[in-house]
């Protein structure tokens, strides 16, 4: 989580010690079953803006990422944008070859809202977009690859942004209509739906720190409103599915939340671990999967008293009323989890960050271990035990809800001999297997990403693909990296094989 927030990183990481070249990225097997259960599924993930390109073709409307990269190229590390990216809109056949080579059981991709509904509302339905996504879904199914569809992966239609985006509660209605069209059009074949990808990483940088589009700078207020409306939009889509489609389509609907695990910096501070988790995963997971149908008690209490101290007449975080609590509580058939890394945590005294802000409300200070290997991304350190511990925390706190790991991955310069990615993948698969052996209900694991793609503000400077894509070549060939061969060997044997033959 917070992968796109260098600002928070600078403010809150007390010491970032870069790892020595021989620092390990590994995890021991916990001694139980060595084989993944037979119903466990392996996959890979992508997102529309990061791979599709064709940003203005065949009737697609602009999204906030189109506008932002065009208006502010200086904010992207290499001044690039997703106008063409890996051209998956025209080259899905090449992606399919890679998917088949990997032998994945499922493929998680996102639908571009503004490709389907260029104006965001229901006035224009873009048939070309329907044809494209129908083709993707049908090809996947023909090849026994289950489609897992994300409905919203950061790329808000510009049409909706014109009147406030996620700060206007009309977005709940708009999203519900969009969801209705998705379920109606594709739900006969798509049985796994993810309403939103990483609400925190969309709302905090977008409506808080202004690091991402729509670049609204109102921390501790607009970002909280965004998450509030987003949770309501999620739950409304979930209820719609249950009422109108479930009886005929029999699919599952969930949400993807990103989180790190937190370890106490000082041995006597176990409660800061809980604080770290309640202010991240819990903010979104507690209302849906917890008992109260509301934000974590601690979070509500802190922000209410901070708001009163600031002289406000009401809390910057409005708890859900009875009506919304009822709708939100239980609105997830699974918890989608994006896990990349972990942190040490301690109470920040005095609190850090702008006043007000999430950093200030959470009053936490983060650091990393010098034994954690660092990826190309400055926020990404290899901490596989954190995934195992996070899965156990979810098991214990949310009644062992079914978890799909919807993202987990490592960045580098795009080398074909990507030994570090193999180490990372191997260690994190081990974390998943250990957790499964310890009774956690994890049923899907998806690696980020199938192919190299547009990494938001980092442009094409940080690569996460199992397949290399030469972004400047005419045909944008997908070339398997060593990690792709390694992942395939795990998928085939359903065991965490030795990586010796792949480096
Ligand atoms: C999570 C996001 O969902 C994805 O879009 C991004 O590329 C990866 N993290 C890596 O930062």
- Minimum CA distance residue for ligand 1 atom 6: 455
Contact 271, 364 (CB under 8 A): no
Residue 141 token pair? 């199914």
With a cut of 60, say whether residue 243 has pLDDT above it: yes
Ligand 1 nearest-atom number relative to CA 154: 5
* pLDDT band (50, 70, 90) for residue 19: very low
pLDDT tens for 488-501 read 999 999 999 899 98
Ligand 1 nearest-atom number relative to CA 4: 11
Provide the pairing of β-strand 343-347 with 364-367: antiparallel
**Residue 199 CA to ligand 1 centre (angstroms):** 12
Handedness of CA 149, 154, 158, 162 (dihedral sign): positive
Pocket test for ligand 1, best of 410, 456, 460 (most atoms within 8 A of CB): 456
pLDDT at 149: 99
pLDDT at 12: 38
Look-up: residue for tokens 């208006």?
71
Question: Is 407 a known active-site residue?
Answer: yes
Contacts of 340 (CB under 8 A, 6+ apart): 1, 3, 258, 260, 379, 380, 407, 408, 409
Confirm or reject: Cβ of 455 under 6 Å from ligand 1.
yes
With a cut of 70, say whether residue 35 has pLDDT above it: yes
Ligand 1 nearest-atom number relative to CA 198: 3
CB atoms within 10 A of CB 315: 17
Q: What is the DSSP string of 159-185?
A: HHHTTTGGGSTHHHHHHHHHHHHHHHH
Confirm or reject: Cβ of 407 under 6 Å from ligand 1.
yes
How high is the mean pLDDT of the chain?
Answer: 95
Residue 289 token pair? 């999967």
* pLDDT band (50, 70, 90) for residue 20: low
**Residue 340 CA to ligand 1 centre (angstroms):** 9
Contact 212, 457 (CB under 8 A): yes
Catalytic, out of 198, 346, 388, 455: 198
Look-up: residue for tokens 């260098």?
6
pLDDT tens for 463-476 read 999 999 999 899 99
Handedness of CA 17, 18, 19, 20 (dihedral sign): negative
Domains delineated in the chain:
2-498 (3.20.20.80)
Cis ω before 502 (30° cut-off from 0): no
> 162 in the Ramachandran plot: left (φ > 0), alpha (ψ -120 to 50) or beta?
alpha
- Provide the whole-model pTM: 0.96
Cis ω before 350 (30° cut-off from 0): yes
Size of the chain in residues? 503
Cis ω before 449 (30° cut-off from 0): yes
- Minimum CA distance residue for ligand 1 atom 5: 47
Confirm or reject: Cβ of 63 under 6 Å from ligand 1.
no
Confirm or reject: Cβ of 112 under 6 Å from ligand 1.
no
User: CA dist 464 to 228, 319, 421, Å?
Assistant: 31, 37, 9
User: Hey, which bits of 364-483 come out as E strands?
Assistant: 364-367, 403-407, 442-448, 467-469, 478-480
């Amino acid at each position: 989580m917070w992968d796109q927030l260098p600002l928070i990183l600078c403010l809150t990481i007390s010491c970032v010690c870069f790892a020595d070249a021989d620092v390990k990225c590994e995890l021991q097997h916990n001694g139980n079953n060595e084989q993944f259960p037979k119903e466990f599924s392996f996959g890979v993930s992508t997102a529309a803006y990061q791979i599709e390109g064709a940003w203005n073709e065949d009737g697609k409307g602009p999204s906030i990422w189109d506008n932002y990269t065009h208006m502010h190229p200086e904010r992207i590390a290499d001044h690039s944008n997703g106008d063409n990216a890996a051209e998956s809109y025209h080259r899905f056949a090449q992606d399919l070859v890679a998917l088949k080579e990997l032998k994945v059981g499922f493929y998680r991709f996102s639908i571009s809202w503004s490709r389907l509904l260029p104006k965001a509302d229901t006035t224009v339905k873009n048939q070309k977009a329907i044809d494209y996504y129908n083709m993707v879904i049908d090809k996947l199914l023909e090849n026994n690859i289950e489609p897992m569809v994300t409905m919203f992966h950061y790329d808000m239609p510009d049409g909706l942004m014109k009147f406030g985006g996620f700060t206007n509660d009309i977005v709940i209605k708009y999203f519900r209509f969009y969801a209705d069209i998705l379920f109606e059009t594709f739900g006969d074949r798509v049985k796994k739906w993810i309403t939103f990808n990483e609400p925190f990483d969309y709302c905090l940088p977008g409506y808080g720190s202004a690091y991402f589009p729509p670049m609204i700078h109102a921390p501790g207020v607009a970002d909280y409103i965004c998450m509030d409306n987003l949770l309501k939009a999620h739950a409304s889509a979930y209820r719609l599915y249950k009422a109108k489609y479930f009886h005929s389509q029999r699919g599952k609907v969930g949400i993807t939340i990103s989180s790190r695990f937190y370890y106490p910096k000082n041995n006597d501070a176990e409660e800061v671990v809980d604080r770290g988790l309640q202010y991240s995963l819990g903010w979104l997971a507690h209302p849906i999967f917890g008992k109260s149908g509301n934000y974590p008690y601690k979070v509500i209490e802190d922000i209410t008293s901070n708001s009163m101290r600031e002289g406000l007449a009401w809390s910057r975080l409005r708890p859900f009323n009875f009506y919304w609590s009822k709708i939100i509580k239980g609105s997830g058939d699974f918890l989608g989890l994006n896990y990349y890394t972990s942190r040490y945590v301690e109470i920040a005294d005095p609190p850090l960050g702008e006043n007000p802000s999430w950093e200030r409300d959470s009053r936490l200070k983060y650091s990393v271990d010098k034994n954690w290997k660092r990826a190309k991304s400055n926020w990404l350190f290899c901490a596989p035990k954190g995934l195992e511990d996070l899965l156990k925390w979810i098991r214990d706190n949310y009644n062992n809800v079914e978890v799909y790991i919807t993202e987990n991955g490592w960045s580098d310069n795009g080398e074909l001999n990507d030994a570090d990615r193999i180490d990372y993948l191997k260690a994190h698969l081990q974390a998943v297997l250990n957790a499964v052996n310890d009774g956690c209900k994890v049923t899907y694991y998806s690696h980020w990403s199938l192919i190299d793609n547009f990494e938001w503000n980092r442009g094409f400077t940080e690569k996460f693909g199992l397949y290399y894509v030469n972004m400047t070549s005419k045909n944008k060939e997908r070339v398997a990296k060593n990690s792709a061969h390694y992942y395939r060997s795990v998928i085939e044997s359903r065991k965490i094989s030795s990586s010796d033959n792949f480096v």
